[in-house]
Amino acid sequence: MANIVETAVSAGSFTTLVAAVQAAGLVDTLSGPGPFTVFAPTDEAFAKLPAGTVESLLADIPKLTAILTYHVVPGAVHAADLVGTPSATTVQGTDVTFDTSDGAKVNGATVTQADIVASNGVIHVIDTVLLPA
């Protein structure tokens, strides 16, 4: 079974995310034993950011790393686990909030595909890039 990074690469809809993970030097971490839960923004999610945002983040590795690690929660959290769970602390150190009243949302971003299982965790596809406060 492929790990989180390999799964994201093979999906083909996460080229911006994968490039950002590579730029931030997080490939080894997210290929490691985990388990991790990744809320993975699609290329379309990154495209919704203001023009030039991705380029400026790729030039600011500490900020890029903070944003990327804000999309990762330690442990394997499946969609069913989100029900009744108001929030979780990210690898970045601050919390994301969950809303399962109408589908699943994390900080208001819609989970468009849940529970993609990888060898070292779980991926949930989201439609918006999460930005820490």
How many Å is the Cα radius of gyration of the chain?
14
pLDDT, one tens digit per residue, over 63-90 is: 999 999 999 999 999 999 999 999 999 9
pLDDT in tens, the chain (133 residues): 999 999 999 999 999 999 999 999 999 999 999 999 999 999 999 999 999 999 999 999 999 999 999 999 999 999 999 999 999 999 999 999 999 999 999 999 999 999 999 999 999 999 999 999 8
Cα separation, 46 vs 2, in Å, equals 24
The model scores a pTM over 0.75: yes
Domain layout of the chain by residue ranges: 4-126
Question: Which two tokens mark 24?
Answer: 């931030």
| CB-based burial, 63-94: b 16+ in 10 Å, e otherwise | ebbbbbbbbbbeebbebeebeeeeebebbbee
Q: Which alpha helices (DSSP H) does 70-123 contain, by range?
A: 79-82
Give how far Cα 30 sits from Cα of 45, 79, 122, Å: 20, 20, 11
- Give the CATH H-level superfamily of domain 4-126: FAS1 domain (2.30.180.10)
